Chain A
Amino acid sequence: MDKFEQHLQRQPLNGPPADWRTDILEVARQSRTGILPVTERIAENELAQELNATVAVENEGPTREGRSGDQTLKPGWLHRVTGRMPVLRDLLWPHPGAWASLAAIWLFLFVMQHQMNVEIQEEITLAGIQPPVTDVMVAMEQHQIAIEQLLAMNNFEPPVIDRPRRMIVSPTNLPPLMILKS
């Protein structure tokens, strides 16, 4: 190591600010139980507001509220679900709220389409219009009955048709005169 490298090595680095220690260790301890402190909760709410998404906030109940200075809240349902499944979290990150909104829109469209189909079916029924498929089905059924009746007749025999023998025309079975003419 030359003098230049030694000079670089002697440059002292800053450490993390002292107040980080308490915050980082507190968040780490809270993460053991899956409960986020209020600062994390506020950050999550801000993100949700930006995305116009609804983040459910559930209070812990009277036992937690009773603690002095330790107002921790449960994380939102989306955060809890994605937190338990790392693959899902990676897939939905960084905008799980946007993905959830998209899924909600798709669900809404699906329900609307289904509802419209039901309404159209009801209108057809009320107007007495038979769909063409029903007519075809009835016709086929009548046709099948007629065939069964015909087959059930005892004296019915299929006609015998004499098929004419096919005459093979070749130079060997023609009379000699015709060969000459041709």
Chain B
Amino acid sequence: MPDELERLYDAHANALYGFLLTLTRADSESRDLLQEVFIRLARKPDLLSHALDERAFLIRMAHNLALDSFRRRDSRDRRHDQLAAASFGLFARTDDPDETEFRRQLAGALGELPPEQRSVVHLKLWGELTFEQIATTLDIPLNTAASRYRYGLDKLRGRLRPLYDEIKHGQV
């Protein structure tokens, strides 16, 4: 029978990893932060006892850890990460060459967004949270969450729309 830590990992590790990978754009850093989340859970087993929403609580914890990590890094490291951003594997592989190209460009376009827009876009599209839940999770006003999503999505649209239209046109 799995213990509580295993249950939490199986229930939330995928979502946390995707969110951390979107934020950090680095596999190794995502792993460190994911590990740190579970170390904290192991040290304080009652951490989640008062949480209304486990997933939101854990995403918030991961978000705060990622921000701390960003502060520790200097600008040289950040530039290095931006240069290496296109190579990280956020999206699953596919046999369809059009979709492969779209996912590659989507990953690159996400990397060009500021982290605060990136996190909101990720939680809205792939975390399937409402703006209200995102605002609570990231501790930002509701309007800020909505506007960050709109700005982020507009940038993605501007970057990916030609390819998207091409793919849709080819399917028709």
A and B from one complex: yes
Partner-B contacts on A (CB < 8 A): 4-5, 7-9, 11-16, 20-21, 23-25, 27-29, 31-32, 93-94
Question: For A14, what are the chain B residues with a Cβ–Cβ distance below 8 Å?
Answer: 17-18, 21, 89-92
Contact at B91–A12, with CB atoms within 8 Å? yes
Question: For A9, what are the chain B residues with a Cβ–Cβ distance below 8 Å?
Answer: 125-126
Number of inter-chain CB pairs below 8 Å: 78
Contact at B92–A31, with CB atoms within 8 Å? no
The distance in angstroms between the C-alpha atoms of A31 and B42, with both chains bound, is 7
Interface of B is mostly: helix
Interface size class of B (residues with CB under 8 A): 20 to 34
Contact at A5–B18, with CB atoms within 8 Å? no
Contact at A13–B34, with CB atoms within 8 Å? no
Partner-A contacts on B (CB < 8 A): 5-6, 9, 13-14, 17-18, 21, 30-31, 34-35, 38-39, 41-43, 72, 89-92, 99, 102-103, 106, 125-126, 153, 156-157, 160-161, 164
Contact at A15–B35, with CB atoms within 8 Å? no
The distance in angstroms between the C-alpha atoms of A14 and B91, with both chains bound, is 5
Excluding A4-B157, A4-B160, A24-B34, 10 further A-B contacts by CB distance (< 8 Å) are: A4-B161, A8-B106, A11-B99, A13-B91, A14-B17, A14-B89, A15-B17, A16-B30, A20-B34, A94-B72
